Amino acid sequence: MNSKLSIITDDKLPNIHPGEILSEEFLKPMNISAYRLAKAVRIPQTRISDIIHGKRRISADTALRFAAFFGTSTRFWLGLQNAYDVEEEIKKQADELQKIESLNIPESELVQTSQAIPAY
């Protein structure tokens, strides 16, 4: 196990906001306007526009609505948002995070996730 968590970002790929994915992979190919999406999912058009322009996060509420409309999962939208948020935080805190010393537990002593978390 590495003594430090690797948190240096790979600057080769840009961190893409979920709003750009919404616009480029869903709205444009399907010829759906932000206004039409807003009406269909019953939220203000400004919320859609803010998401598309990277000014607003995709909340759980919005993810539920997008999933219902596009036939995707809620986790898809929340996963996009979470991945974006984590990457942004890594960029902001990389120097600070590199100063944190790892616990250095040997892999053989780690509890497997399936053993540590009860199934519900």
Q: What is the pLDDT of residue 73?
A: 98
Domains of the chain: 18-93 (1.10.260.40)
Q: What is the pLDDT of residue 12?
A: 72
Question: From CA 78, how far away is CA 84, in angstroms rounded?
Answer: 10
For the chain, which residues score pLDDT lower than 70? 1-11, 113-120
Q: What is the pLDDT of residue 107?
A: 79
Task: Find tokens 């790929």 and name the residue.
Answer: 13
Q: What is the pLDDT of residue 101?
A: 87
Closest CA to 63 of 44, 77, 83, 45: 77
Task: Give residue 46's Cα distance to chain centre.
Answer: 21
CA separation (Å) from 21 to 57, 58, 92, 95, 116? 13, 12, 23, 29, 35
Look at the pTM and tell me if it is higher than 0.85: no
Q: What is the pLDDT of residue 11?
A: 62
